[in-house]
Amino acid sequence: MPREKYAGDYLNLVQQKYERWKPVYDLWQRMLNGKNEPLRKLVNGNRDWDYNLDGMAHYGMIPDFIQDLKNVGIRSDQMMPLFSSAEEYIRMWEKADSASGKKSVCSATNSSVNQTGCNSYTSPSGKYKWTASGVYKDTIQNVACCDSVITINLTIQKVDTTVTAQNNILTAHAQGATYQWINCATNELVPNATSVSLSQVAAGNYAVRVTQNGCTAKSSCYPITMLTIRNPNDKPLSMPLQKFAAANKIVAADRKHNAEFGRSVSISGNYAVVGVPWESTDVNDQNAMTQAGGAYVFEKTSDNNWKQIQKIVAKDRTPGDHFGWSIGISGNYIVVGAIYDREDDKGKDIGTSAGTAYIFEKNANGSWQQMQKISARTYNYFGGSVAIDNNTIVIGAIGHSMDTTNKIESNLTDAGAIFVFEKTGSSWKQTQKLVADRRTHGENLGLSVSISGNYIIGGALGSHFDVNMENRKEFAGAAYIFERNGSVWKQAQKLVASDRSPYDEFGYSVSISGNNAIVGARRVTETADENSAEYTGNAYIFSRNAGGGWSQVLKINPDDRKAEDRLGTSVAINGDYAIIAAPGSDFEPMHNEGAVYVYWQSGDGKWTQTQKLFSSDKGTYAGMGVSAALSENYIIAGATIEHRDLMGKNELSNAGAAYIFGKPSGLKNASELPNKLKNQ
């Protein structure tokens, strides 16, 4: 509408300006209190508001309007969102001066702001573009058309988009990042391609979208010249294989008797987290509460050591919560299970052994802050297992009894369930509950969980039946794979061991990565001959075939297993590597030292044992392998009954420790591997 048409009508609003401006005051107050979005977004599309801006400018009312805003406590540097840009702000002020015949008094201002940019940052005036962190100054005109000098404390987050192409396999260099591979010809996402490496795709050009330190960037396009899905009769690729070097030992700075540091572990990029559910004190090592629990965050230093940077506990910690029973980390988020907590996020008692989980986020200063608490129902044991992959969290609840209808008639005691949470905005919301299609009493689905892209696997060690719900064998165990189609998760398959036996506890541990999954069965008894050995343990690897089904491809059964090794107590798989822990393994003459077996998958899909890892300070009854996790470059294993500190001194019974093994720079070809490699 032309100004001539509405300007006269605007005079009728002048007498009511305070009534019309009162909502503006209210909106500003809501914004300042953090209860709403910036004003400009709230009033966007309001025609009267746009008319008011022009009308006030035309009739010289902006100075009065600005003064009224100041009278209610609004600073001039906070008024900018009222306008679509700084230029519009200044333009409106100039209109006011022109219409009123007045010139405002010039008053320069100084301010300081903290800003973060992804790869680069453009100054508020638009005059400068900075690509490095530092302290910079910029000048814009303030509301009185005078200089406003802004000091900008700038942090530039760099995204590493370099890619190595070798043997038709593309590998991103970025660490501590998430990945999504893209077909450059169609600009479409490659399905399920969220690992650091890309292979087994049709010939073409591919790029990777890397998200690192809160920033996202896309790499150049790189060629894959042949289809890398290989015939089983092909010879193995001569692909570089890196062995894991001797371990870094980590312990809590405030280590204690019977804390059992290492009950749960997880690792992502340059960060490792360790759960200690029997820890008693807060972050300052004070206010003891029996078994309230805690967790410790470690960061890799420039000299490849690992240093504790923070201890985290629940804000509402209470005795017996067992915060740290389970733990997971991915990028900037940590999730921690508190299996016996009985209070929800409002402090309401939700019943014995309900269980909760806490989500922590890394802030700009590098500290991890609690952002949310999530909970379930009485006797669920919610939080007994947790896993996180990018913006999806899965939480096991072995005591959950109802199906997805949540009707009382669906009750099956301890059938178990898995809860899925997705990040929406700044919070995490439950999007689905997963249960077995053919549930049974006492199955305990969710005892262990893992997620990779569009696949979730959950262990159910209490399952008695095979995939056809036949051949009952008490506690033989099972695992369930769920697949995401769009935004909906559905059961894809039930997995059982090909040689299942009663009380194997198949499903005690699980892990999934891409097209491979691994399941631990820690109580398998070796009966190959008359000298049977109890609880040697096993693990099984399953792979997804071209039709989408999952088949067992390997039973992990090392020749040196012994009774009570409990191989498969913890397992992990990531890309071409799998690890299987045996906390009862001996290192003669030391008993129950614990060990981690490393397996590697060659180009033809075959898995080979490459190493058996022991702790760096081998000791009797350390029990390394009670927990274990695997990232692109590191293995971490918990040793809950290790009693010595970093120097091998200051013994505290069951204080606990963890060991981190990293890949060195040296490479070894698969063709050069001996049949069995001992610990290096």
C-alpha 466: how far from chain center: 33
Categorize the per-residue pLDDT at 617 as very low, low, confident or very high, splitting at 50, 70 and 90: confident
**Residue type present at position 474:** E
What pLDDT does 276 receive? 97
Averaging pLDDT over each range in 68-72, 302-306, 455-459, which range is the top one? 455-459
Task: Tell me the C-alpha to C-alpha distance, in Å, between residue 296 and each of 275, 384, 390, 456, 570.
Answer: 7, 18, 21, 26, 20
DSSP annotation string for 654-665? T-BEEEEEE--S
671 secondary structure, DSSP code: G
Mean pLDDT value of segment 643-653: 89
End-to-end CA distance of the chain: 80
Helix (H) or strand (E) holding 536: none
CA neighbor of 446 nearest in space, from 496, 400, 506: 400
236 secondary structure, DSSP code: P
User: Are the beta carbons of 459 and 519 closer than 8 angstroms?
Assistant: yes
pLDDT for residue 113 is more than 70: yes
Categorize the per-residue pLDDT at 73 as very low, low, confident or very high, splitting at 50, 70 and 90: low
Categorize the per-residue pLDDT at 664 as very low, low, confident or very high, splitting at 50, 70 and 90: low
The mean predicted confidence, pLDDT, of the chain is 80
**Residue type present at position 388:** I
Mean pLDDT value of segment 231-241: 41
What pLDDT does 330 receive? 93
- 431 CB neighbour count, 10 Å cutoff: 14
CA neighbor of 212 nearest in space, from 154, 165, 270, 171: 270
The token pair that represents 440 in the structure block: 């049974």
Q: Between 404 and 589, whose confidence is greater?
A: 404
Cβ partners under 8 Å of residue 283, min gap 6: 294, 310, 311, 312, 313
Question: For 556-598, how does the pLDDT look when each residue is reduced to its tens digit (9 = 90+)?
Answer: 988 787 888 899 999 999 988 999 999 988 876 677 889 999 9
Mean pLDDT value of segment 435-442: 93
What pLDDT does 100 receive? 45
Mean pLDDT value of segment 126-152: 77
Domain 163-229 architecture: Sandwich (2.60)
Least confident among 69-83, 260-274, 524-538:
69-83
Mean pLDDT value of segment 537-559: 90
Categorize the per-residue pLDDT at 675 as very low, low, confident or very high, splitting at 50, 70 and 90: very low
Categorize the per-residue pLDDT at 64 as very low, low, confident or very high, splitting at 50, 70 and 90: low
- Prediction pTM value: 0.65
Least confident among 104-118, 195-209, 384-398, 467-481:
104-118
Categorize the per-residue pLDDT at 69 as very low, low, confident or very high, splitting at 50, 70 and 90: low
622 — phi, psi (to 5°)? -75, -35
Burial of 2 (0-12, 13-18, 19+ CB in 10 A): exposed
